[in-house]
Amino acid sequence: MHLSSFLPSLLALSGMAAALAIPDPFLEARQSSPAAGVVYTKCTKPGLFALAFDDGPGPYTQELINTLNAAGAKATFFFTGTLYGCIYDRAAAVKAAYSSGHQVASHTWTHPQTLDSMSVAQLTTEMQKLEIALVNIIGVKPTYMRPPYLKTGGNVPTAMRNLGYRMITDSVDSQDWNGLSVSQSEQRFKSAGPKTPDGFGHISLLHETYANTVRDLVPRLITWAKQNNLKMVTVAECLGDANGAYAKGTGGGAQKC
């Protein structure tokens, strides 16, 4: 057989080899993205600061969004379904957070104290009830969650891995929940410094349900971040996952709690 008859096959094989040698950026992004069922406490890059708020939506959510937007800061809202009233009754604030480019994430439906002693089935119900509500309100479901009371033991990792959630705690706790004054909370951030001991950015723990946190502490932290040349970003962006904060989900059902 003439050599020319082999050329198409050789070229095809060569093309396949070249294709195999070319990195697939989408595959690499999936492989390098934060893993479900794993706890993340800090950013994966320096120079970033993730403001992250628990327990809303509450009476100060819109006010907080306005403050963040005016400062050009992005933040993450770990919302619940029923802790400060029904999430459907505060749907406008949830939509405002999402449409402003802040990250909407899960803090469970009822904020149970016994999260780490619940069964996988119970945990799944807690997460999916909030998923349905968020799909109804903003059209997508989150892929990030912060467990109430930072309880990451028991069946929590298994349930979150099954559901595709990354678990977030913190590297700096404002302790606004523990009766600290605004000045004392601010000092905790100053003492921690603009980066973790190993040089990465902080993920904070704050609560949007306290007026003093929203109206006094947050402006101080924005000033502190700017003085230290920190970019205020969402938790997903802080973990190098800016496009992976949400997934498709199914809504429906009665829109009430």
Cis omega (within 30 of 0) for bond into 57: yes
Check: CB of residue 160 under 8 Å from CB of residue 145: yes
Q: 20 is written with which tokens?
A: 């195999």
Give the DSSP H or E segment for 21. helix 7-21
Q: Are strands 141-142 and 246-247 parallel, antiparallel or unpaired?
A: antiparallel
What one-letter code names the amino acid at 234? Answer: T
Calpha distance 40→243 (Å, rounded): 17
| β-bridge partners, 168 | 40
Check: CB of residue 231 under 8 Å from CB of residue 47: yes
Check: CB of residue 206 under 8 Å from CB of residue 175: no
Check: CB of residue 210 under 8 Å from CB of residue 27: no
Active site amino acids: 54, 207
Calpha distance 245→141 (Å, rounded): 9
